[in-house]
Amino acid sequence: MKYIYIVNGRADKASQYREFYEQLGEIPHQHEVYTTMGEGDATRYVRLYCDLHPEEDVCFVACGGNGIINGVASGLVGYANSSEQAARECSNKTVAILYFGGATEDFIINFPGRNFRSIRDMLNGTVTPTDVIQVNDSYCLNVCNIGFNSKVASRANELVAEGKSAHQAYTRGVINAFLTSRFNRIRVTVDGEPIARGPMVLCTVANGRRVGGEFNCAPEAKVDDGLMDVCYFRAMSLLRLLTLFPLYRSGHHIGSRAGRNKVLYRQARQVTISSKDLIDIYIDGEQLPGSQFDLRILPGALPLRLPKLSK
């Protein structure tokens, strides 16, 4: 088995990889390191490698945060999903994760008891099929956001780029969204049926449980159940939203008294999000603009190598 470690080539990320390179030098195994050269490069690299080396047993190891993880996984899933032949050629390819920095650890918290900072644990791990959400021609491992959450992510990304910490950025993004994004004219259809009518505050379509480092948006979600978890907030007063918000953070908003008739929670295999205006959907923290998004679950589409369970 060959391991290809894919690291973020941005100059400001270099310090995050000191521990990674120290471990890499201590553990003999067949490997190489690929450093990305820009946005979308991880996805392009993985797809090209699969195309040129169909017979090779390879594990692509995403080293970093949400962006690099999504990029590597999207490369493998997108290639395998392109044709039956490609799917057969990808049967000997897997993805692993080493978390070194990045904004949040949202996706890996779905796998408790595993050390995602240990190369040795990763090498001694096991492969498990993990669901992926397809969004038009893109892919999501963790959570898609629209409405209020989309506004939070947009402002948070701007602040992180300015040097703010992830926690500071999300907190200030939330305050901004409270003031500007409580009445969104966006239609959400779940398995062919409108989930609600009228303006909405937010909607998350989730494979994993948590977003933004601290918001347990889909507490019942599982990454291997073949379903997306849809959490929808109807439009409401600022006072009621402020009451609900701590529950949304802790994951107790589902079935709560404060959320009665306002918070809707469904599971689905297909979701359509549409608007008369151009809107943004955030996929694992990355912005995707459009007026219609078709989402479907791809059960077990990602062969994910998980670190061995800690004792």
Task: State residue 97's pLDDT score.
Answer: 95
Residue 18: pLDDT band with limits 50, 70, 90: confident
Cα separation, 159 vs 295, whole angstroms:
29
Task: State residue 102's pLDDT score.
Answer: 56
Domain 2-102, classified CATH 3.40.50.10330, yes or no: yes
Q: Encoding tokens for residue 70?
A: 């999504």
Task: State residue 95's pLDDT score.
Answer: 97
| pLDDT, average across residues 46-58 | 95
| pLDDT, average across residues 101-128 | 88
User: What phi and psi values does residue 164 have, to the nearest 5 degrees?
Assistant: -75, 155
The arrangement of secondary structure in 143-299, i.e. its CATH architecture, is Sandwich (2.60)
Task: State residue 16's pLDDT score.
Answer: 79
Task: State residue 103's pLDDT score.
Answer: 55
Task: State residue 123's pLDDT score.
Answer: 96
* pLDDT digit string, tens, across residues 66-95: 788 999 999 999 999 988 888 887 899 999
Residue 104: pLDDT band with limits 50, 70, 90: low
Residue 154: pLDDT band with limits 50, 70, 90: confident
What's the pTM value of the predicted model, to 2 decimals? Answer: 0.90
Task: State residue 125's pLDDT score.
Answer: 95
30, with CB counted inside 10 A (0-12, 13-18, 19+), is exposed
Task: State residue 9's pLDDT score.
Answer: 79
Query: Picking from 1-10, 110-119, 143-152, 292-301, which range would have the lowest pLDDT averaged per residue?
Result: 143-152
| CB within 8 Å of 52: residues ≥ 6 apart | none
Residue 127 has pLDDT above 60, yes or no: yes
Residue 166 has pLDDT above 70, yes or no: no
Task: State residue 64's pLDDT score.
Answer: 84
* pLDDT digit string, tens, across residues 187-223: 999 999 999 988 999 999 999 999 877 889 999 999 9
Task: State residue 167's pLDDT score.
Answer: 66
* Tokens 């949202």 -> residue: 106
| pLDDT, average across residues 269-288 | 92
Mean pLDDT of the chain: 89
Q: Would you kindly state where each structural domain of the chain is located, as residue ranges? A: 2-102, 143-299
User: What phi and psi values does residue 68 have, to the nearest 5 degrees?
Assistant: -70, -35
Cα separation, 170 vs 153, whole angstroms:
7
